Amino acid sequence: MEKKTLNIKLKVWRQENKDAKGSFKDYEVKDVNPDMSFLEMLDELNEELILKDEIPIEFDNDCREGICGMCGMVINGTAHGPKSGSTTCEIRMRHFKDGDTILMEPWRAKPFPVLKDLVVDKSAFDRIMAAGGYTSVRTGGVPEARTFLVPHEKAEEAMDMAACIGCGACVAACPNASASLFVGAKVSQFALLPQGRPEAARRVEAMVAQMDEEGFGACSNHGECEAVCPKEISIKAIARMRREYLAASIK
């Protein structure tokens, strides 16, 4: 039996550069395979635009497997789109219905300036990570398994926090454009393990200071960040960051 295709209407944010004034532009994509990924649908649209000598739509992407954190856009008002626990590249067109109109726009946050169309500059995250610095664990050969005694629960929780891919959806979804979930996850992945404890106080103070310097807002416990996180990182990470920061401030 032949699979039914979709005809989709798009309203896409187009912006020539970071200094230009952007606006939404209407497009239509016909005969879309429901099993096609959202980004593959955009690829097809861009091929059509190129054949018409029109400028293709710019959007970030790399691995297209939900690993790298490069892709990301607000789809119908939701960061990454309609499927929870997924990045934009993992969204399939079967999540939409024939004749749907899909609104697409970039992350909306002052620290994430729009570079072009759906592409934003997320280098603020890189600067926060750089501020955190390194751990003082020796490099070289693989250490003995019992060199660092880590309870299983702590190791698992640290791995959960390290799953953060820095996509920026938490910032885009937060009404305050807070980066607290991202910073909380990155603080936690080190703070939970003995290898990260020697620099824990300095790290959290430096990362929080850099987060504030970049212009991210404060967390007010809306929980939107947790709802759109493709790796489903808990807002417990924010609570841990606050505890770590308070302890560092007292010291």
Q: Which residues pair with 101 in a beta bridge?
A: 9
What CATH number has the domain bearing residue 79? 3.10.20.30
Residue 55, pLDDT > 80, answer: yes
Please indicate, yes or no, if residue 153 is contained in any of the structural domains: yes
Residue 127 and residue 245 in one domain: yes
Clarify whether residues 180 and 216 are in a common domain: yes
Partner residues linked to 26 by β-bridges: 11
Residue 1 lies in a domain: no
- Strand-pair category, 78-79 with 74-75: antiparallel
Q: Which residue has the higher pLDDT, 140 or 25?
A: 25
Q: How far is it, in rounded angstroms, from Cα 191 to Cα 198?
A: 9
In-domain check, residue 82: yes
Q: What is the pLDDT of residue 143?
A: 65
Give, in order, the Cα–Cα distances in Å from 74 to each of 12, 91, 106, 117. 10, 12, 6, 12
Which of 22-31, 136-145, 148-157, 177-186 has the lowest average pLDDT? 136-145
Mean pLDDT within 82-86: 96
Q: What is the CATH number of the domain that holds 146?
A: 1.10.1060.10
Task: Examine the domain organization and report whether 56 and 90 are in the same domain.
Answer: yes
Instruction: Report the percent of the chain where pLDDT is more than 90.
Output: 89
Q: What's the confidence (pLDDT) of residue 217?
A: 97
**89, 115, 141: which is the final residue of a domain?**
115
Rounded to two decimals, the pTM is 0.93
Instruction: Please check whether residues 159 and 203 belong to one and the same domain.
Output: yes
153-185: per-residue pLDDT in tens?
A: 999 999 999 999 999 999 999 999 999 999 999
User: To the nearest whole number, what is the mean pLDDT of the chain?
Assistant: 94
Same domain, 102 and 135: no
Q: Domain check: are 197 and 235 in the same one?
A: yes
14 — phi, psi (to 5°)? -115, 130
Residues 6 or more apart in contact with residue 36 via CB below 8 angstroms: 44, 92, 93
- The parent domain of residue 58 ranges over 6-115
Q: How many domains does the chain have?
A: 2
* Pair 141, 182 in one domain: yes
Residues 100 and 150 in one domain: no
Among the listed ranges 16-25, 59-68, 137-146, 223-232, which one has the minimum average pLDDT value? 137-146
Same domain, 149 and 109: no
A 10 A CB-CB count for 49 gives 14
